[in-house]
Amino acid sequence: MTDPSPRVVTAIEPDPRKPGVMRVHVDGRPYCAVPASALGRAEVGPGTQLTPERLDLLGGLADEEGAFRTLLRALERRSFARVDLGRRLAKKGHRPEAVDGALARAASLGLLDDAGFSLNYVETRAARGRGPARLVRDLQAMGVERRHIDAAIAAHWPPDTDRTAMPRALAARRARQLGQLPREAKRRRLVAYLARRGFTGPEVRQAIQEALAAPS
C-alpha cells in the first residue's frame, strides 16, 4: 500500500568537499546535491513538503550538478570549445537541461571562453604544421563561431605575414620522403598532403614547385 504522507525536507547544508554545492536531506536521509546558486529555484527549505513537482525540480537541479562535475573533470584534462563540451556531456547521458545549466555555470565562472580557446588552438596546431583552412574546419567542427575563428587566424597570420615558410618546409620534407617517384605522381601527393594540413592557394603551388625542383 502506498504511503500517502508527503516527503519532507529535513536539512539543507553545504557540501564540505564541493564549494558552491548544497546537500538536501529528505525524511532524515541524504537525497541529492544541488548548486547553491540554483537552490532558490526549488523554493525549498527545512520543513518543506515535497510535491511531485518539487521533487522533479530537485531532481533536475541534481542532474545539473552532476553534469557540472563531469564538465570539471573534462576541463581538468584539457580545454574545450563550449559546443563541443556540451556534446560530450550529452554523450555521457546528461539531459539537455542539465547540460545547458552546467555550461552556463561554467561560463559565468570564466571556465569557458571560445575566443581564447580558438587563439590557443590556432597557435599550438599551426606550430605543428596545420594551415589556416584545416584550422578553420577543425574549429567549425567543434561548434566555434566563425567570428572567433577568423579573429584567431588573423591574430596568428596578420596580413603582412609570410605564409609560405611552413608549406615550403613541409613540401620539401615530404618530397624527400617520396624519393624517386615520377614527378607528376609526386606533385599529386604533395598537393593532397598540404591540402590535408590546411594549406591551399598560391603559397602551396610555390612550395610544391620548389620542392620538385630541389635535388632528391
Tell me which H or E stretch contains 26: strand 21-26
Of 124, 122, 121, 129, the C-alpha closest to 199 is 129
Q: What is the pLDDT of residues 100-151, one digit of tens each?
A: 999 999 999 899 999 999 999 999 999 888 889 899 999 999 999 999 999 9
| CATH topology agreement for domains 7-79 and 114-156 | yes
**Architecture of the CATH domain 7-79:** Orthogonal Bundle (1.10)
**Architecture of the CATH domain 114-156:** Orthogonal Bundle (1.10)
pTM above 0.75, yes or no: no
**Sequence ranges of the domains in the chain:** 7-79, 114-156, 165-213
Tell me which H or E stretch contains 22: strand 21-26
CB–CB of 174/214 below 8 Å? no
Instruction: Name the grid cell of 108.
Output: 559565468
Q: Which pLDDT score is estimated for 36?
A: 81
Q: Which pLDDT score is estimated for 202?
A: 77
